[in-house]
């Protein structure tokens, strides 16, 4: 699918313990790298460190469609992230979904 076409967007946000940011980002980078390399339906996976205290990290993920995101939910790299991140955070915000419109 062309990057200029409508796409399924996922925004996830985490409040990370101050002393765990490096470990959290390592897990997040693993998930992002494998999502982009191994999932044909994953168009974009940005990790954004927001300028807030305590540390807040946002994921901005773009998939071809909901089915591509659902496939992401079944991956071993996401399983690794899910297993590791709970001990590193203070809170996880509600995941938001949307669509990216063509420019």
- Domains parsed from the chain with CATH numbers: 14-57+68-93 (3.30.70.100)
* Assigned token pair, 94: 């509600």
pLDDT > 70: percent of the chain? 96
Instruction: Please give the DSSP secondary-structure letter assigned to residue 91.
Output: E
For 34-53, what is each residue's pLDDT tens digit? Answer: 999 999 999 999 999 998 77
Give alpha helix (H) positions in the chain.
21-38, 66-72, 76-84
For 75-95, what is each residue's pLDDT tens digit? Answer: 999 999 999 999 999 999 999
Query: Which is more confident, 101 or 72?
Result: 72
* Band of residue 1 on the pLDDT scale cut at 50, 70, 90: very low
67 burial level (CB within 10 Å; 0-12, 13-18, 19+):
exposed
- Structure-token match 């927001």, residue found: 50
């Amino acid at each position: 699918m062309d990057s200029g076409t409508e796409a399924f967007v996922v925004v996830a946000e985490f409040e990370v313990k101050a002393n765990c940011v490096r470990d959290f980002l390592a897990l997040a980078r693993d998930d992002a790298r494998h999502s982009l390399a191994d999932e044909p339906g994953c168009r974009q996976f940005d990790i954004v460190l927001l300028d807030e205290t305590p540390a807040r990290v946002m994921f901005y993920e773009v998939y071809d469609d909901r089915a591509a995101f659902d496939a992401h939910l079944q991956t071993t790299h996401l399983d690794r992230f899910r297993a590791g991140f709970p001990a590193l955070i203070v809170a996880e915000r509600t995941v938001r979904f949307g669509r990216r419109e063509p420019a």
